[in-house]
Amino acid sequence: MFENRVAVVTGGARGIGKSISEALANRGCNVVIADINLENAEATAQEIFQATNRKTLAVHVNVADYSSANEMIDKTLAEFGHVDILVNNAGITRDKLIMRMEEQDWDLVIDINLKGAFNCCKAVVRPMMKQRYGRIVNISSVSGLAGNVGQANYSASKAGLIGLTKTLARELASRQITVNAVAPGFIPTALTVDLPEELKEQIIKATPLGRMGKPEEIAYAVAFLASDEAAYITGQVLSVDGGMVMM
């Protein structure tokens, strides 16, 4: 499906990002595992290479820093000669009710989740435009669609990602670059592992399918949107949330 395509996955070393990297490699992609933790990225890159025999590259990136995002794309181009797919997955949470939320908690989440995606898109757009081909998939959230108590910063960042997705879809369509978003529901990862059991039960009750999702279920959606099978889909948000938010 992706023979000789090159994908960059930010936050690709663990959790949903790792599952996305694995899904793309399993379908024939060469994958750049870009992460703030280079040691984790290198371990994941080696693991995926051994499992799939696809070329992998581990790159350190701080997505909140444009020069770091630009360097990530430069290293990808130096190694592979082109970049076809960008998955903006890197993200953090700093949950608190707004009365208790510190300014730095707001700034950090916005800088990584939203500005980080902007930085990576800006860095990759020129080479994609030159080759007249590209797939950008942004990882939003049900929190960006419906809001969530205690997540003013996170929900705002993920809602902003949807606006960024739709705008870039319009700007880049003439160069055959599609831009879409996936909005996961609640997925057991390092970001959700500390949720109280009572809250997890409430989440499951609020989900029509009656369970939390799996990282690989997000990865499958990303792989579809990054494929040529989705060539006529752009500017869309695909919710993968067990029916939690229906729009």
| Residues annotated catalytic, as ranges | 154
Model pLDDT, residue 191: 62
Q: What is the pLDDT of residues 172-188, one digit of tens each?
A: 999 999 999 999 998 98
19 alpha carbon, distance to own chain's centre: 11
Sequence-distant (≥ 6) Cβ neighbours of residue 85 within 8 angstroms: 2, 5, 6, 7, 8, 24, 29, 134, 135, 136, 137, 226
SS (H, E, C) 221-247: HHHHHCCHHHCCCCCCEEEECCCCCCC
CA 64 – CA 66 distance, rounded (Å): 6
Blockwise average pLDDT, block size 10, the chain, 247 residues: 93 97 98 98 98 97 98 98 98 95 97 98 98 98 93 97 98 98 89 70 89 95 97 98 88
pLDDT of res. 196: 72
Residue 48 confidence (pLDDT): 98
pLDDT at site 8: 98
The predicted pLDDT at position 173 comes to: 98
Question: Measuring CA to CA, which residue among 133, 170, 161 is closest to residue 237?
Answer: 161
Write out the H or E segment, with its range, that includes residue 182: strand 177-184
Q: What is the pLDDT of residue 202?
A: 85
Single-letter amino acid code for the residue at 208? P
* pTM score, whole prediction: 0.95
**Quick one: how far is CA 104 from the chain centroid?**
23
pLDDT value, residue 203: 84
